[in-house]
Chain A
């Protein structure tokens, strides 16, 4: 059974055309974004530079027990059509009843994105025909959505260097509540479509962003930050792989100073990584098309992750006419704040914006700022900590159990621990090295019982997860630092005596050669010497 490409109404599948290998054969164009935010890829033979414009529509599934307008359960994997009520199946005589939790989720999200919350919002019907939309329309908020005019701030590494971060903002046009559709599985062999309505009616928040972005990297960073915000709020679990976060990208290019070009919509993007790829590919495709004298069609395209390109998804049938009309079965949604709260009202029937605002958790940006202030780490470090699920907690646990300064600890967390985890595709929760073990190890290092080289060796051992403590490993492998100063001095002298040429070079002024001598002492002591102490001893002996 072939999985369907999720499409909207009036669609039929058509042969996809895609040049295998795409544009990469012609040579890569570097798509960096300049300081003013416009990408300026080198045009062919001196043509004016192109300015790409990227806007996103994000659908986030609301994290709730039951659906937006009915009491059936929201759950990812379940037997087909087992989580479906009569209303979800659009049986006659059923009516929508709004779920309070969904309203709260949308208000929380709107507040977190600095939106104005509309105290009165309306529901509408958006009509199109598709097998997974049994009513023939979707209940959404087209005229007056629940939240408007917000901003989303995100950061990315400047010029591809991992050292400097730059903050950008994208305007949020609106957030609206709407129903999700069911799922269709296309069975081409038997010329039929199988429909599962478990997802039909699940609450969605559609976050519409203004076209303020200019490349795949910006789009990916913005979505990542939105994902973190949603997960922090708990309004959506926003796991893209489970379809809880879906992104459609609108892409166009134009010359600076000229009107915006024709845009295409790119769908079927299943991960943040693919989002960046899809957007960049589409920008390249449009530029090449236009530079070859072609035109861009206002069409919907699907991203093919295997081929790494976008392909046309619908046939040219003109713009969709959704015949929007007010939802006659739902009165306007009224929200209150502390001032407008009526005196005698059932609290269960009231959504109080101020009450929700007071209870918002620390957003990722606030958490990062607090980490920087509290621990003296760099902003880039705080990004990585907050980005990895569980890493902040791990870091703070280690800091609380060791005398080592947080500024030093962060190096071990980000360089050693995280790289190990990434190499083995493990999450922080699955780490064979616990925060307790790492703290023990760092304590040994801090107390100068082992060198940092030795510490790295111990960490490598700990990764095997054999249950040994750092101290046990140190003893086993005899990695303790030499405590006998006299013995160390003797070895230093031996090395000096055995390396006449190097000594001469050092005394002549080439101090870098000293490192070679330090290395030799390290080898002789089998890593059991502190390079800082060794350097001091050597310098003293050579009267430097």
Chain B
């Protein structure tokens, strides 16, 4: 299956990664080919495992208030703050289309 521009854009948008140039895209293609090797394993009749914790007990906590009240500490890491609020850029800024990105054009 081809890794199309649409797929690349979709991935960049979803995961906020930057494939940057043709070399990055080739690395992606190689990674996909590598992962595809998993398809060769016959898993018929085998329950998928989704956690190594599957036979552990899920610990249940009592409903007591034991944390919080550390506004100052939390805000220490914030680059910007306004009256104890974290500051973030407005909404979600749309990414430029791949073809419009300078870095992409340079590699090809």
* Contact across chains for B87 and A12 when beta carbons are under 8 A apart: no
CA distance A122 to B51 in the complex (A): 10
Cα distance A89–B75 in the bound complex, in angstroms = 10
Instruction: Report if A130 contacts B (CB, 8 A).
Output: yes
Residue A465 lies at the interface, judged by CB distance under 8 Å to chain B = no
**A12-B91, A122-B50, A127-B14 known; A85 and B67 CB under 8 Å?**
yes
Complexed CA–CA distance, A321 and B86 (Å): 27
- State the majority secondary structure of interface residues on A: loop
- Whether a CB of chain B sits under 8 angstroms from the CB of A84 is yes
| B27 located at the interface, meaning its Cβ lies under 8 Å from any Cβ of chain A in the complex | no
Cα–Cα distance between A511 and B87 once the two chains are bound (Å): 80
| Option from B54, B70, B92 in Cβ contact (under 8 Å) with A331 | B54
A323 within 8 A of B: yes
Is A29 an interface residue when CB atoms closer than 8 A count as contact? no
B86 lies within 8 A of A72 (CB): no
Q: Establish whether residues A332 and B58, one from each chain, have CB atoms under 8 Å apart when the complex forms.
A: yes
In this complex, the member of A70, A323, A331 whose beta carbon has the largest number of chain B beta carbons within 10 angstroms is A331
Shortest B24–chain A CB gap in Å is: 20
Q: Within the complex, which residue of B54, B83, B90 is in contact with A193, where a contact is CB–CB below 8 Å?
A: B90
- Does any Cβ of B come within 8 Å of A300's Cβ? no
Let me know if A193 and B87 touch, CB within 8 A: yes
Partner of A83, one of B55, B68, B83: B68
**B62 adjacent to A100 (CB under 8 Å):** yes
Contact digits for B42-60, partner A, Cβ 8 Å, 1 yes 0 no: 0000000011111111111
Answer whether A11 and B62 are a contact pair too, CB < 8 Å, given A85-B68, A323-B14: no
The distance in angstroms between the C-alpha atoms of A349 and B57, with both chains bound, is 9
> In residues 2-57 of chain B, which contact A (Cβ within 8 Å)?
10, 13-14, 16, 50-57
Determine if A130 and B92 form an interchain contact, defined as CB atoms under 8 angstroms apart: yes
**Does chain B have a CB within 8 A of A71?**
yes
Which of A72, A98, A127, A129 makes the CB contact (< 8 A) with B60? Answer: A98
Chain A residues within an 8 Å CB radius of B107: none
Q: Which residues of B are in contact with A by a Cβ distance under 8 Å?
A: 10, 13-14, 16, 50-71, 74-75, 80, 82-94
Residue of A nearest to B69 (CB): A82
| Alpha-carbon distance A244/B70, docked complex (angstroms) | 25
Q: Is A129 a contact partner of B84 (Cβ separation < 8 A)? A: no
Cβ-defined partner of A332 (8 Å) among B14, B54, B60, B64: B54
Cβ of A22 < 8 Å from any Cβ of B? no
- Check A71–B71 contact: CB distance below 8 A: no
1/0 contact trace for A245-266 toward B, CB 8 Å?
0000000000000000000000
Complex CA distance for A72 and B64, rounded to whole angstroms: 8
Q: Given that A72-B68, A195-B88 are known contacts, is A331 also in contact with B61, CB under 8 Å in the complex?
A: no
Inter-subunit contact B60/A100 (CB<8 Å)? yes
Any B CB within 8 A of the CB of A191:
yes
Asked if residues B61 and A192 are in contact (CB atoms below 8 Å), the reply is: no
Q: Quick check: is A65 within 8 A (CB to CB) of the other chain?
A: yes
- By the criterion CB–CB under 8 Å, are A321 and B63 in contact? no
Cα separation A196 to B85 with both chains bound (whole Å):
6
Which of chain B's residues has its CB closest to A315's CB? B94
Q: Are A331 and B56 in contact (CB under 8 A)?
A: yes
- Which residue of B51, B63, B69, B84 has the most chain A CB atoms within 10 A of its CB atom? B63
A64 within 8 A of B: yes
A509 at the interface (CB under 8 A from B): no
Q: Select from chain B the residue with minimum beta-carbon distance to A191.
A: B90
Q: Does A181 contact B (CB under 8 A)?
A: no
Contact B58 A81 (CB under 8 A): no
Query: Complex: how many Å from CA A84 to CA B64?
Result: 14
Q: Taking A73-B68, A82-B71, A129-B16 as contacts, is the C-beta distance between A98 and B91 under 8 angstroms?
A: no
Set of chain B residues within 8 Å of A186, measured between Cβ atoms: 90-91
Most central of B52, B71, B80 by chain A CB within 10 Å: B71
Query: Which chain B residues lie closer than 8 Å to A97 at the CB level?
Result: 59, 61
Please provide the chain A residues from 84 to 136 with a CB less than 8 Å away from any CB of chain B in the complex.
Answer: 84-87, 89, 97-103, 122, 127, 129-131
Q: Which of B52, B61, B80, B88 contacts A71 (CB 8 A)?
A: B61
Q: Is the CB–CB distance between B66 and A71 below 8 Å?
A: yes
Complex Cα distance, B62 from A288, in Å, reads 53
Question: Do the beta carbons of A84 and B71 come within 8 Å of each other?
Answer: yes
Q: How far is the CA of A357 from the CA of B29 in the complex (A)?
A: 54
Closest to B83 in A: A80
User: Assuming A79-B71, A80-B71, A334-B58, what are 6 further A-B pairs, CB within 8 angstroms?
Assistant: A81-B75, A84-B68, A98-B61, A99-B63, A185-B85, A321-B14
With a cutoff of 8 Å between Cβ atoms, the chain B residues found around residue A195 in the complex are 85-88
- Within the complex, the shortest CB–CB distance from A201 to chain B, in Å, comes to 10
Complex Cα distance, B71 from A65, in Å, reads 19
Q: Nearest Cβ in chain A — how far from B93, in angstroms?
A: 7
Minimal beta-carbon separation of B75 from chain A (angstroms): 7
Q: In the assembled complex, which residues on chain A have CB atoms less than 8 Å from the CB atom of B63?
A: 64-66, 99-102
With CB as the reference atom, state the residue of chain A lying closest to B73: A86
Question: Shortest distance in angstroms between A7's beta carbon and chain B's nearest beta carbon?
Answer: 8
Which residues on A sit within 8 Å (CB–CB) of B62? 100-101, 348
Report the separation of the CA atoms of residues A72 and B66 in the bound assembly, to the nearest whole angstrom: 6
Q: Which of B50, B90, B93 has the most CB of A within 10 A?
A: B90
Complex formed: what's the CA distance from A197 to B82 in Å? Answer: 14
Contacts of A127 in B (CB 8 A): 14
User: Which A residues lie within 8 Å of B87 (CB)?
Assistant: 192-195
Evaluate whether A328 and B88 lie within 8 angstroms (CB atoms) in the complex, with A64-B63, A71-B61, A71-B66 already known: no
Shortest distance between the CB of B63 and any CB in chain A (Å): 4
> Does B53 lie within 8 Å of A71, measured CB to CB?
no
Known contacts A99-B61, A100-B60, A196-B85: A188-B14 contact under CB 8 Å: no
* Among B65, B80, B85, B92, contact of A73 (Cβ-Cβ < 8 Å): B65
